């Protein structure tokens, strides 16, 4: 079965700092990869997704992620974070049978 | 994106009772819905895949007789926690799938006393 690991459990940044959250998956075949965000008290929302094509994917709110097949990675990046980016971030992989498997999540706190 | 609702948003029940949680896709027909469980400060754990008109597919370790899933229409899936116990207390989240991405409901907080 597919699995997803997120290395950073809790990240604290000052506003305007750059962000990179790690995500690695284990699966040798074709993958669909996703990043979701969960703002405090809200439900999960899709930030971006990768199905095929350009490995650099741009999402909403200035986020982007790069799919590196050789490293089984799909790291999330943002050049300059804002206080409003404080949230939980989840990486997910879609496996066979269309099930989605989530990483353990990264809690991001942005200090004004 | 599409809108998915869950009802109730919060429920408290006594140990031994059953609780039904509804998940509705409000603006598209979802042949597939997923049910997740989220523990505090942890990720979503996929419990089962609910397919309209057929039996749900449960993930390993999830008791199908305890967590009954019914997907009777293209817009409604229900999760019934039977004979609930305090260890079943959790945040249950559903999502509706349109073959490309999932749209999540707001979740249901279940507390079993």
Q: Chain B within 8 Å of A60 (Cβ-Cβ)? A: no
Burial B85-111 (b: 16+ CB within 10 A, else e): eeebbbbbbbbbbeeebbbbbebbebe
CA distance A34 to A90: 8
Say what the pLDDT of residue A28 is. Answer: 67
Mark the ranges of chain A whose per-residue pLDDT is less than 50.
Answer: none
Peptide bond into B8 cis (omega under 30): yes
Q: Say whether A43 and B102 touch across the interface (CB within 8 A).
A: no
Q: Say if residues A90 and A103 touch (Cβ distance below 8 Å).
A: yes
Q: Rg of the Cα trace of chain B?
A: 13
Give the count of alpha carbons within 13 A of A2, CB side only. 25
Partner-chain contact B46 A100, CB within 8 Å: yes
Query: Which chain B residue lies closest to A5 (C-alpha atoms)?
Result: B43
Chain A residues within 8 A of B49 when measuring between CB atoms: 97-99
Between A87-96, B37-46, B85-94, B102-111, the lowest mean confidence (pLDDT) is in B37-46
pLDDT (tens digit per residue) in B53-80: 888 999 999 999 999 999 888 899 999 9
Specify the pLDDT at position B99.
76
Say how far apart CA A2 and CA B26 lie, in whole Å: 30
Measured between beta carbons, the chain B residues lying within 8 angstroms of A51 are 100
Residue A3 to residue A100: CA distance in whole angstroms: 10
| pLDDT value, residue B1 | 67
Nearest to B103 by CA among B92, B112, B94: B94
Residues B77-101: pLDDT tens digits?
A: 999 999 999 999 999 999 998 877 8
pLDDT confidence bin for B28, thresholds 50/70/90? confident
With an 8 Å Cβ cutoff, are A100 and B34 in contact?
Answer: yes
Do A44 and B93 count as a contact with CB atoms less than 8 A apart?
A: yes
What per-residue confidence (pLDDT) applies to A111? Answer: 96
Answer whether A102 sits within 8 Å of B32, measured CB to CB. Answer: no
What distance in Å separates residue B85's CA from the closest CA in chain A?
25
């Amino acid at each position: 079965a597919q699995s997803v690991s997120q290395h950073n459990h809790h990240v604290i940044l000052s506003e305007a700092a750059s962000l990179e959250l790690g995500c690695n998956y284990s699966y040798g075949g074709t993958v669909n990869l996703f990043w979701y965000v969960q703002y405090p008290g809200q439900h999960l929302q899709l930030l971006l997704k990768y199905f095929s094509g350009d490995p650099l994917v741009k999402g909403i709110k200035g986020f982007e992620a790069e799919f590196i097949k050789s490293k089984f990675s799909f790291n999330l990046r943002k050049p300059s974070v804002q206080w409003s980016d404080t949230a939980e971030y989840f990486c997910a992989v879609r496996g066979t049978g269309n099930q989605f498997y989530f990483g353990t999540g990264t809690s991001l706190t942005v200090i004004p | 994106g599409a809108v998915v609702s869950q009802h109730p948003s919060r429920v408290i029940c006594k140990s031994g009772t059953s609780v039904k949680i509804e998940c509705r896709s409000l603006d598209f027909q979802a042949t597939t819905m997923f049910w997740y469980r989220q523990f505090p400060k942890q990720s979503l754990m996929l419990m089962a895949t609910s397919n309209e008109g057929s039996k749900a597919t449960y993930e390993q370790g999830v008791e199908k007789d305890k967590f009954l899933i019914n997907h009777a229409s293209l817009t409604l899936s229900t999760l019934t926690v039977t004979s609930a116990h305090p260890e079943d207390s959790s945040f249950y989240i559903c999502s509706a799938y349109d073959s490309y991405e999932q749209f999540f409901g707001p979740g249901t907080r279940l507390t079993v006393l």
